[in-house]
Amino acid sequence: MAKFIHAMIRVLDETRSVEFYRTAFGLEVSDRFAFDDFTLIYLRNTEADVEVELTVNNGRTEPYDLGDGYGHMAFCVDDLDAEHARFTAAGLAPRKIVAFNREGALLARFFFVQDPDGYQIEVLQRHGRYR
């Protein structure tokens, strides 16, 4: 059976991105590997084995074109309202909280936040399938 271990995104500024993921999700650098042309930074927290891999291409100054295919990462939290307030206080500019219902029952409550490179991240209340 395959095991999902990380998702990689390309970022322009290592310091800015590491600080965002630390502030927003409590992710810390677990490994960092510098090569001649790029650097790989692995971020994780104690909640899961899955990591976010940041790739910084040396010398890159232009933002990456994220394309028109909508995609995102997702994190779940125990108290969505408290996290939304914390993100707001930290200046992370979360979007409004949304509730999705299906067949008369709550499927999900969530908000989105954008990282420094424009990637969208969903923050979900722990509930149902989102654990």
How much is the pLDDT for 2?
78
Alpha carbon distance, N-terminus to C-terminus of the chain: 21
How are beta strands 98-102 and 51-57 bridged, if at all? unpaired
- Rounded to whole angstroms, the Cα distance separating 123 from 97 reads 9
Domain edges within the chain:
6-125
How much is the pLDDT for 87?
98
Nearest to 26 by CA among 91, 86, 116: 86
SS3 for 89? Answer: helix
How much is the pLDDT for 61?
95
- Rounded to whole angstroms, the Cα distance separating 97 from 89 reads 15
How much is the pLDDT for 33?
97
Sheet of 6-10: strand order equals: 6-10, 51-57, 38-44, 28-34
Domain 6-125 architecture: Roll (3.10)
Q: Which two tokens stand for residue 65?
A: 């074109």
What is the chain's pLDDT, residue by residue, as a tens digit (131 residues)?
878 899 999 999 999 999 999 999 999 999 999 999 999 999 999 988 899 999 999 999 999 999 887 789 999 999 999 999 999 999 999 999 999 999 999 999 999 999 999 999 999 999 999 98
